[in-house]
């Protein structure tokens, strides 16, 4: 995957986030703050990370790619595991959530486009590596899932779940008219009362549920396997657009055939 990252630095608000110069004093301070936020809360929220003119370019590009989104309409439990008929109907893993979401695959994005230029900009990868404390970190080798755009249209939602992957990087681009809110209960995986909390969340208990405001241009680094989360059902004609940037600790890592078929309809 050799894509030019030309001009990517100009897309990022480097005055506020000096990611191009992480060895400088402000760069070291930024990394420290972000790392601490990620460790203590399970997510690092970077509002205004992308400059507004670059947000406009990314939004324009993503809206132009919408028609190529593949939609997945399915149900799953919070742990994304197969149904187990031998478990009691009361077991938390028997509860099914609904998900209706589209995704524009990496190979459908323009090579010289804004999103690919950003994704291929090494300082962004190195900054994320520092937040995650993963060195080295690589761009994901999957030809469909390396970097993709999540698309929610009228009725779209992503039910409560923990991610399979340890971390996820998303970029808020376009907010829908109504709904489409990212909600989460941070860092509950592995707690003694994890199942109780999950059951409560699935039953609609709002205790501990947090909402992340949707502000275009915000970058989010998120430990999705520790924090149960969802996207509430959205309504309206303005699609909710959120690119997903994937990185891995292994340079050859790709998705399974099953995952590719589920999210992009092809292997």
Binding footprint of Fe ion on the chain (CB under 5 A): 163, 224
Residue whose token pair is 């608000």: 13
Q: Which residue is nearest to Fe ion (CB)?
A: 163
Residue 164 CB, shortest distance to Fe ion, in Å, is: 9
For the stretch 227-246, what's the b/e string if a residue is b when 16 or more beta carbons lie within 10 angstroms of its beta carbon?
bbbbbbbbeeebbbbbbbbb
Q: Name every residue whose Cβ is closer than 8 Å to that of residue 225 and which is 6 or more positions away in sequence.
A: 162, 163, 164, 165, 166, 189
Among candidate residues 171, 184, 183, the one with its CA nearest the CA of residue 215: 171
Residue 74 CB, shortest distance to Fe ion, in Å, is: 14
- For residues 31 and 150, which CB has a smaller minimum distance to Fe ion in the complex? 150
Q: What is the Cα 155 distance to its own chain's centre?
A: 19
Task: Judge whether 236 and 77 are in contact, CB under 8 Å.
Answer: no
Residue 16 CB, shortest distance to Fe ion, in Å, is: 27
- For residues 154 and 163, which CB has a smaller minimum distance to Fe ion in the complex? 163
Q: How far apart are CA 63 and CA 241, in angstroms?
A: 8
- For residues 114 and 246, which CB has a smaller minimum distance to Fe ion in the complex? 246
Among candidate residues 73, 91, 69, the one with its CA nearest the CA of residue 81: 91
- For residues 216 and 224, which CB has a smaller minimum distance to Fe ion in the complex? 224
Q: How far apart are CA 23 and CA 165, in angstroms?
A: 29
Collapse the DSSP code of 228 into the 3-class scheme (helix H, G, I; strand E, B; otherwise coil) and give the result: strand
- For residues 36 and 166, which CB has a smaller minimum distance to Fe ion in the complex? 166
Residue 40 CB, shortest distance to Fe ion, in Å, is: 20
- For residues 30 and 104, which CB has a smaller minimum distance to Fe ion in the complex? 104
- For residues 44 and 54, which CB has a smaller minimum distance to Fe ion in the complex? 44
Q: How far apart are CA 17 and CA 15, in angstroms?
A: 6
Residue 14 CB, shortest distance to Fe ion, in Å, is: 29
Residue 61 CB, shortest distance to Fe ion, in Å, is: 23
Residue 7 CB, shortest distance to Fe ion, in Å, is: 30
Partnered with residue 181 across adjacent β-strands are none
- For residues 156 and 224, which CB has a smaller minimum distance to Fe ion in the complex? 224
* Omega cis (within 30) before 158: no
Residue 237 CB, shortest distance to Fe ion, in Å, is: 25
Task: Judge whether 262 and 152 are in contact, CB under 8 Å.
Answer: no
């Amino acid at each position: 995957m050799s894509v030019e990252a030309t001009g990517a630095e100009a897309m990022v608000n480097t005055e506020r986030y000096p990611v191009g110069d992480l060895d400088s004093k402000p760069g070291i301070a930024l990394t420290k703050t972000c790392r601490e936020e990620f460790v203590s809360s399970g997510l690092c929220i970077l509002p205004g990370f992308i400059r507004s003119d670059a947000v406009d370019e990314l939004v324009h590009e993503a809206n132009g790619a919408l028609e190529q989104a593949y939609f997945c309409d399915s149900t799953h439990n919070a742990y994304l595991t197969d149904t187990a008929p031998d478990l009691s109907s009361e077991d938390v893993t028997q509860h099914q959530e609904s998900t209706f979401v589209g995704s524009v695959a990496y190979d459908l994005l323009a090579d010289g486009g804004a999103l690919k230029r950003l994704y291929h900009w090494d300082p962004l990868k190195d900054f994320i590596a520092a937040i995650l404390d993963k060195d080295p970190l690589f761009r994901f080798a999957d030809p469909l899932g390396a970097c993709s755009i999540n698309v929610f249209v009228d009725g779209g939602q992503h039910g409560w779940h923990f991610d399979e992957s340890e971390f996820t990087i998303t970029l808020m681009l376009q907010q829908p008219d109504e709904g489409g809110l990212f909600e989460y209960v941070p860092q509950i995986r592995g707690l003694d009362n994890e199942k109780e909390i999950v059951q409560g969340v699935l039953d609609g208990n709002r205790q501990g549920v947090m909402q992340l405001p949707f502000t275009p241009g915000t970058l989010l680094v998120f430990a999705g396997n520790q924090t149960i989360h969802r996207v509430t059902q959205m309504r309206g004609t303005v699609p909710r657009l959120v690119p997903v940037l994937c990185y891995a600790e292994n340079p050859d890592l790709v998705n399974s055939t099953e995952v590719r078929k589920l999210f992009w309809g092809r292997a």
